[in-house]
């Protein structure tokens, strides 16, 4: 143990001694996967951020221009959080020996894409030979400051996790003690050159006292299993190359923010802010938006500071409060590290937006961080985190606890802020963004859980997430239950519908049977009355009653005065008549009657000369005159059953019960036998219904 500590202290002293030969420089970031170190020359941790930023990309292995091209957009995203005024940077790339290989620039307007100067393209032998540097970089890539020594973080040992970058973070002396207490771990230590010549001399004069160097050297120890994913990757650039059940995030952040009804206003410096004025009654002509301690980049307010609202007369409309602004949007101060994330979705009804964390094309999953406007009607917000929402097509994996835990850990690994700082978090998985998130329907949800952890107040550190069980709400099983209940409901509904149809069918059958019985009853009742009339005629004839035939006839009344039938005919009226007539002339269309008065008969059957009983509708035809030069009276017979051919003069042969009944009924086809059969049928149907 003592030998290990002694060797470590000597190694640190050697690196500090070698580092004093270099100019002042600041290590901005290091990518383990690409083996590229990003350096800001002639700067330290306090003054490295500037408008015209110049970077040096040092290859720690074989020159890798493709890796630098992949890395530069992530450096640009780092700029948005740590140096927002740097919207464009120039760079040079150098080899392990310090040879300059290429140069170029990158800017926010082009998505921080790598743009190399043609004259200094990498892998050009003539260029490489002509551009060399005298200085040798220290093996530890140490960083020198003026008064104190800081340690840049060392990349964690991980699997082939693509394009991971670790921003440089100062470490306190509390981590130094970990060197002696963890000899069994694999330790990587990087020491930044930030010591004066006197401190270096004191280390060189007493190399056998490594413990004293701990007073000035802060060393960070990292011992991490290789299978653990690195949690310090920069925010990923949204690709949005696939859909999840028909939904895809919006690639236009301006459209997303516009959807939640945010308006652009300017502060006292003319820098724009995004505010919600929907629930306010401000008169914008006299409203002043004031900010303190904020920066302005690309025309929008950036960084942490205060913001408030006053009226032109000095009245405070909204007291100044602390916010962290990202492109004009006021976030809660605790969300400063995620301010560079891109808005990709919104719920306009709830003033809810989602930021892009990452995506997995193979699993078809999008990782989103939800933000919602807080503090009631305050126009600035602040916008606060609602939770981590994942939209995925991986439905069935949420039936197994180990797979659920794997999905949760994968979601937490999407941003270092989730791993290192968040202590309370709602995580939800959805199969359908619109149904699950916007409409809050169970059929669009998969799984949700709440995670929490407490800071260790003795060490002032937040422990790692320790997820050993899945105790959240599983909507997948709930959807199964809902599906079963829905199927049962549909089955009950189908059974009820079938029963209702059968009931309706029985009712219809009963109704039709009742209707038929009623019709039979009406016919039978009518026929019974007809038979009674037949029997009455039989009795009358047996009693030799006179004028039975004449009593059942109805003719046309002719009177010189009053409103007779003839008068009504003259006024376009008609009358139903039942007459005994004598036809004296027949042509192709009509039959001429000369008794009891001139008539013309229109019949559906051909008539002959002689005596008839007829029944029809009589009317006057003013367009045609009879032999007496009077308007013709025409009788229309609509059915063969409305006439009877007589065999005797004056139809004496019709004075029988059957003929008299037929004339009385105005139905020459009536038959007593048929009438009796109808009555019998009704009686049988009546018995069958009981």
Residues 579-614 pLDDT 10s: 999 999 998 778 999 899 889 999 888 899 999 999
- How confident is the model at residue 324, as a pLDDT? 92
Q: How far apart are CA 452 and CA 73, in angstroms?
A: 33
pLDDT band at 561 (very low <50, low <70, confident <90, very high): confident
- How confident is the model at residue 683, as a pLDDT? 87
Stretch 361-385: mean pLDDT: 88
Residues 579, 596: contact at Cβ < 8 Å? yes
From residue 596, give the alpha-carbon distance in Å to each of 78, 204, 557, 566, 581: 122, 158, 11, 15, 6
pLDDT band at 186 (very low <50, low <70, confident <90, very high): very low
Each residue of 591-623: b (16+ CB within 10 Å) or e? bbbeeebebbbebeeebeeebbbbbbebbbeee
Residues 280-301 pLDDT 10s: 888 988 999 999 999 998 899 9
Closest CA to 105 of 124, 133, 86: 86
**Residue that wins the pLDDT comparison between 375 and 57:** 57
**Residue that wins the pLDDT comparison between 280 and 323:** 323
The residues with which 31 forms a beta bridge, in sequence order, are: 36, 165
- How confident is the model at residue 246, as a pLDDT? 93
- How confident is the model at residue 444, as a pLDDT? 94
Judging by DSSP bridges, how do beta strands 343-347 and 329-331 pair with one another? unpaired
Structure tokens at 417: 């802020």
Stretch 489-504: mean pLDDT: 95
CB atoms within 10 A of CB 310: 18
- How confident is the model at residue 362, as a pLDDT? 92
- How confident is the model at residue 687, as a pLDDT? 82
**165 pLDDT above the threshold of 70:** no
pLDDT band at 180 (very low <50, low <70, confident <90, very high): very low
- How confident is the model at residue 455, as a pLDDT? 87
Stretch 511-540: mean pLDDT: 91
**Residue that wins the pLDDT comparison between 437 and 564:** 437
- How confident is the model at residue 164, as a pLDDT? 38
**565 pLDDT above the threshold of 70:** yes
- Global pTM reads 0.47
Residues 655-668 pLDDT 10s: 899 999 999 999 99
Residues 405-427 pLDDT 10s: 999 999 999 999 999 899 999 99
What ranges in 187-250 are assigned the alpha helix state H?
197-205, 210-213
Cα radius of gyration rounded to whole Å, the chain: 53
**61 pLDDT above the threshold of 90:** no
Q: How far apart are CA 444 and CA 247, in angstroms?
A: 12
Stretch 115-132: mean pLDDT: 50
Closest CA to 233 of 465, 102, 371, 412: 412
Residues 208-226 pLDDT 10s: 433 333 333 233 323 333 3
- How confident is the model at residue 219, as a pLDDT? 32
Q: Which domains does the chain have, with CATH numbers?
A: 2-213 (no CATH), 253-471 (no CATH), 548-655 (2.40.50)
Residue 382 preceded by cis peptide, ω within 30? yes
**435 pLDDT above the threshold of 70:** yes
Judging by DSSP bridges, how do beta strands 343-347 and 352-360 pair with one another? antiparallel
Stretch 75-82: mean pLDDT: 82
Question: Looking only at Cα atoms, what is the longest distance across the chain?
Answer: 166
Residues 53, 39: contact at Cβ < 8 Å? no
Structure tokens at 95: 């080899």
Residues 135-157 pLDDT 10s: 333 333 333 322 222 333 333 33
pLDDT band at 198 (very low <50, low <70, confident <90, very high): very low
- How confident is the model at residue 9, as a pLDDT? 39
**236 pLDDT above the threshold of 70:** no
- How confident is the model at residue 231, as a pLDDT? 36
pLDDT band at 227 (very low <50, low <70, confident <90, very high): very low
**436 pLDDT above the threshold of 90:** yes
**534 pLDDT above the threshold of 90:** yes
- How confident is the model at residue 33, as a pLDDT? 85
**689 pLDDT above the threshold of 90:** no
- How confident is the model at residue 237, as a pLDDT? 65
For the CA atoms of 512, 517, 518, 522, the dihedral, rounded to the nearest 10 degrees, stands at 140
**651 pLDDT above the threshold of 80:** yes
List CB contacts of 181: < 8 A, sequence separation 6 or more.
Answer: none
Backbone angles phi, psi at 206, to 5 degrees: -130, 65
Range in 279-288, 351-360, 623-632, 654-663 with the lowest mean pLDDT: 623-632
Q: What percent of the chain stands above pLDDT 70?
A: 79
CA atoms within 13 A on the CB side of 120: 17
Q: How far apart are CA 86 and CA 337, in angstroms?
A: 17
**Residue that wins the pLDDT comparison between 193 and 583:** 583
**Residue that wins the pLDDT comparison between 120 and 318:** 318
- How confident is the model at residue 616, as a pLDDT? 93
pLDDT band at 119 (very low <50, low <70, confident <90, very high): low
Residues 37, 57: contact at Cβ < 8 Å? yes
Residues 385, 371: contact at Cβ < 8 Å? yes
């Amino acid at each position: 143990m003592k030998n290990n500590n002694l060797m470590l202290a000597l190694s640190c002293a050697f690196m500090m001694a070698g580092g004093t030969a270099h100019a002042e420089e600041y290590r901005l970031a290091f990518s383990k996967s690409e083996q590229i170190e990003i350096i800001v020359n002639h700067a330290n941790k306090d003054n490295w951020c500037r408008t015209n930023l110049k970077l040096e990309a040092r290859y720690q292995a074989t020159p890798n221009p493709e890796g630098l091209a992949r890395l530069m957009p992530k450096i640009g995203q780092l700029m948005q959080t740590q140096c927002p005024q740097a919207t464009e940077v120039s760079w040079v790339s150098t080899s392990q020996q310090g040879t300059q290989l290429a140069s170029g620039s990158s800017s926010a307007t082009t998505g921080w894409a790598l743009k190399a100067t043609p004259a200094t393209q990498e892998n050009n032998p003539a260029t490489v030979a002509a551009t060399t540097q005298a200085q040798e970089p220290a093996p530890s890539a140490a960083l020198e400051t003026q008064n104190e020594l800081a340690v840049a973080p060392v990349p964690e040992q991980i699997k082939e996790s693509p394009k991971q970058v670790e921003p440089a973070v100062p470490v306190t002396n509390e981590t130094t003690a970990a060197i002696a207490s963890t000899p069994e771990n694999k330790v990587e230590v990087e020491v930044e050159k930030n010591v004066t010549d006197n401190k270096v001399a004191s280390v060189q004069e007493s190399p056998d006292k490594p413990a004293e160097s701990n007073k000035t050297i802060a060393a960070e120890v990292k011992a991490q299993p290789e299978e653990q994913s690195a949690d310090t990757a920069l925010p990923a650039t949204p690709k949005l190359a696939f859909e999840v059940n028909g939904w895809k995030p919006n690639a236009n952040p301006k459209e997303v923010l516009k959807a939640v009804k945010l308006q652009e206003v300017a502060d006292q410096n003319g820098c724009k802010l995004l505010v919600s004025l929907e629930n306010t009654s401000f008169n914008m002509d006299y409203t002043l938006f004031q900010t303190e301690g904020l920066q302005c980049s690309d025309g929008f307010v950036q960084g942490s500071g205060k913001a408030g609202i006053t009226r032109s007369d000095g009245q405070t409309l909204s007291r100044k409060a602390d916010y962290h602004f990202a492109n004009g949007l006021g976030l809660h101060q605790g969300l400063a590290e995620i301010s560079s994330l891109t808005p990709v979705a919104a719920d306009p009804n709830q003033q809810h937006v989602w930021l892009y964390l990452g995506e997995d094309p193979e699993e078809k999953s999008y990782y989103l961080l939800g933000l919602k406007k807080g503090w009631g009607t305050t126009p600035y917000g602040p916008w606060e985190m609602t939770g981590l929402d994942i939209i995925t097509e991986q439905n069935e994996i949420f039936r197994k606890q180990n797979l659920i835990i794997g999905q949760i850990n994968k979601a937490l690994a999407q941003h270092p802020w989730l791993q290192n700082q968040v202590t309370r978090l709602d995580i939800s998985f959805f199969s359908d963004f619109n149904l699950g998130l916007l409409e809050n329907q169970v059929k669009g949800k998969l799984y949700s859980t709440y995670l929490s952890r407490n800071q260790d107040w003795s060490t002032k550190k937040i422990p790692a997430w320790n997820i050993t069980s899945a105790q959240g709400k599983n909507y997948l099983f709930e959807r199964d239950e809902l599906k079963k209940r829905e199927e049962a409901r549909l089955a009950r509904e189908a059974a009820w519908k079938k029963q209702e149809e059968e009931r309706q069918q029985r009712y219809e059958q009963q109704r039709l049977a009742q209707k038929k019985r009623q019709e039979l009853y009406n016919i039978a009742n009518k026929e019974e009355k007809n038979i009674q009339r037949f029997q009455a005629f039989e009795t009358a004839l047996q009693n030799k009653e006179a004028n039975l035939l004449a009593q059942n006839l109805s003719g046309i009344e002719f009177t010189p005065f009053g409103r007779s039938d003839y008068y009504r005919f003259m006024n376009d009226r008609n009358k139903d008549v039942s007459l005994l007539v004598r036809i004296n002339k027949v042509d192709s269309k009509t039959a001429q009657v000369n008794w009891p008065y001139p008539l013309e008969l229109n019949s559906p059957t051909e008539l002959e000369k002689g005596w008839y009983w007829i029944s029809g509708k009589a009317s006057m035809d003013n367009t045609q005159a009879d032999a007496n030069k009077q308007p013709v009276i025409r009788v229309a017979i609509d059915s063969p059953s409305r006439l009877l051919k007589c065999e005797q003069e004056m139809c004496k042969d019709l004075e029988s019960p059957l003929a008299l009944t037929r004339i009385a009924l105005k139905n020459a086809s009536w038959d007593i036998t048929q009438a009796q059969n109808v009555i019998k049928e009704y009686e049988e149907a009546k018995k069958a219904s009981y």
